A and B are shown apart, each in its own frame.
Chain A
Amino acid sequence: MTSSERQAKLLSATLRVANNIASILDPQELLQKTVDIICDEFRFYYAGVFLLDEKGEYATLKAGRGNAGIAMLAENHQLKIGGNSMIGTAVATQKARIALDVGEEAIFFSNPHLPNTRSEMALPLTVGTSVLGAVTVQSVEESAFSDEDISTLQGMADQLAIAINNAHQHAENQFLLAQAERRARLLDAANEVGRGVASILELDELLPKTVDIICDAYNFYYAGVFLIDENKEYAVLRAGRGEAGKAMIAADHKLKLGGNSMIGMAARERIARISLDVEGEDAFFRNPHLPETRSEMALPLAVGTNALGAVTVQSIEGNAFSDDDIQTLQTMADHLAIAINNANLLKEVERTHAELLRTKTYEALSSATTEAIHWIGNKALPMTTTAARMKEDLNESELDIESLKEDLEMIDHSAKLIMDVKEALLGPARETAPRPVMLADIWLASAYHANTPTQKLTVKANPNAPLAFGDSVQLVRAFGSLLRNADESGAKNITIESAPSAQKGFVITRISDDGIGIPEAMQDKIWASFFTTKGEGFKGMGLASCLHIISQLNGSISVESVPEKGTTFIIELPAAEASSANLDIAPGKVSLIAPEGEWTSFVSEALQSAGTEVLNKFDPSVDLLLLDETLADETLPTLEKLGSKTLILSAAPKVENITKYLQSGVKDMVLKPYSVEELAEISG
């Protein structure tokens, strides 16, 4: 080969190495390719690449030409840096060493795999001031290397060094990237556990979710959560990943606290136990459900000095946990511990609340029973004692008629009070039939039934007040009790007003009086049955039944009272949905006899809009007479000719009134309509 041919070859080999350097990312492939090119293109006997080990003590063969190379790689061929080899020296000095006759080279290391070597050069692989290793090139000829060979091969070695350095950098970058990605995944997992901790109060939901998050984020073999039992003897498995977890929970898997398990120790001591190779761990519990575990960590679940349990995390790989893993998982465990503690506290609060409720219920029942016994005892007592005395009196020769009359009166009075109580108890117990009702009209009907003096009563109109959704019969009963209370409190004025409530979907109605008020000490007792502030002539059932009725209608009632100033009862009831219906069919002419007010306006307008002529007086020619119950008694005597066309309308028809009115010849007595639909039903 002429010098110019060899020059061309060198150039071509350099280019090929440069191409490989640019295109081959795998460092091992790059090194092997380089030694092959050197040998093929220059026809050298052997070439090999050595890289410096981590400690900088040895140059280790990483690629070698042919069978010799394969054999030396298999032997993990190494040369000491600075030792008696050309490679060791080249690396130590960062300078090329060339032996044109190795036999004469003092530091040539005689290699049995390369017996024919006569010339050798060792070219350092350097980047800046760093040395990465060296390339050996060997020839069977003496003085085989020209100056051009040396400079060309050193140039190649320099490029190779850069490529190796890049590959190392790339590998390191890849490692850092993988580490960053893993850290990001861990943070995501920690955040997800954090979200669960903040939003899930049920441990049966939170704990399985947490073990799934841990296993999914870290790709671990298994994770489980143990909680310490009530007797503080065992850590009991409460959640476990996958089929193994299910099987262990089904088997009530538990580990003795402080026993020979990592979990038992971590839970009791509140200290993490980490085993990167469980074979060497004395406290490792060999679990038949998890045969492949190689690494395990047991992280304590504790809040302050309060040990709650432990989390186990297991991997099929040895050395599976990095410091990052341990730190992130312990943080997760700490958050989980807070959630468990909160859940325990919540349960404790619920238990205490239930206990308190039971105690309060018992107290309330006991108090109600005591009141009832006292009341019944006192009301029934005069009946028995008076009857006994009357028996004795009747045996006397001279009868004391006045005394006997008084005794009979006492028996009669007691009996009546007991019968009234029966009605007060029975009323609220009747089935309710809620419908849209006009509160102002219900109050007027209640006042009529409770005989409230009209001169005391003011029912303020409020066109903005929506209809309430309630049972008019029950409401008349409840409102009647409030009106009676107001009247009996010595009030001179009783004022009623209704308005939309601040609570959406509700209507509020207030009854205020200027009576004697209720002493503060009694304000929380007034809702109890048989409790009365008005003395022995009263049943003490009114407010109790009132509360019952309002509650049954999904409403609420409260009281504000100032002694000597007056009392206000505030009632909130569900508002009825507004109806936009119109009357389709209506009688031609109707007499409407009712007090002026909201209800009368509503009926008049509805009928008139359907084309009905509405009169507010008697007229024999009408098709229908609608008569408000509150005016019925005074009006009935004048109704002879209209009886069969008359409907008496009542918010709360009473059996005795129905009988009375029907006997007087009216067509019917019906519930007062408060909606167009109901009006259509009675007038159609």
Chain B
Amino acid sequence: MAKLLLVDDEALVRRSMQKTLLRRGFTVETASNCSEGLATFEASHNTASPFDMALLDLNMPNFDGIPAHAAGLDLLTKLREINPELIAIVLTAYDEVDTAKDAVQRGARSYFVKGREQGLVNLINEILG
């Protein structure tokens, strides 16, 4: 089953999403900020089981630990530098056209407005085929 990296600074959101994805049979590892997310990704990158997909919150503390509007995109850029083929979905609390475009330009496969976890599960399944 696919292995997912979920990075979100909100503990309850992170845990709830993780539980839902675990129920659907995914392997899920979590991180609460950009630095932790990058470290987790790097740790498994050259192993036998690298991440198949990254789910990245958009608005969370950046690499300096300061809350930033599009910190998730900075993390996305770093992850894709490590693995240019990485499939990533950017998660956000509200839809914003310009940010969505920016996310796609930086290599995100999709931009998902948080709310219905079943929708996210369907999207992941669709992308991973």
Contact = CB atoms under 8 A, between A and B. Distances in A.
Interface string A516-552: 0001011000000001110111000000000000000
B93 interface: yes
B13 interface: yes
Interface string A398-409: 000001001100
B39 interface: no
Determine which residue in A370, A381, A406, A537 has the highest number of CB atoms from chain B within 10 A of its CB, and name it. Answer: A381
A373 B69 CA distance: 12
Given A410-B15, A519-B66, A374 B117 contact: no
B17 interface: yes
Interface secondary structure of A, over-half rule: helix
Given A373-B94, A374-B59, A531-B67, A403 B19 contact: yes
Given A385-B17, A389-B20, A389-B23, A377 B12 contact: no
Given A382-B16, A389-B20, A377 B114 contact: yes
Interface in B72-119: 93-94, 114-118
A414 interface: yes
Contact of B94 (A374, A382, A388, A536): A374
A644 interface: no
Contacts of B23: 389, 392
Interface residues of B, number: 24
Nearest to B23: A389
A531 B59 CA distance: 12
Interface in A378-431: 378-379, 381-382, 384-386, 388-389, 392, 403, 406-407, 410, 413-414
A388 B15 CA distance: 14
A532 B66 CA distance: 10
B11 A386 contact: no
A389 B114 contact: no
Given A381-B115, A536-B10, A522 B66 contact: yes
Interface in A358-387: 370, 373-374, 377-379, 381-382, 384-386
Given A374-B93, A388-B117, A519-B66, A381 B19 contact: no
A413 B19 contact: no
A206 B128 CA distance: 76
Contact of B118 (A374, A377, A388, A537): A388
Nearest to B33: A535
A537 B20 CA distance: 22
Contacts of A381: 10, 12-13, 16, 93, 114-115
B126 interface: no
B13 A378 contact: yes
A353 B23 CA distance: 56
A667 to B, nearest CB: 46
20 contacts: A370-B69, A370-B94, A378-B10, A378-B13, A379-B10, A382-B12, A384-B115, A385-B116, A389-B19, A403-B19, A407-B19, A410-B12, A410-B15, A413-B12, A414-B12, A521-B64, A522-B66, A533-B67, A536-B10, A536-B12
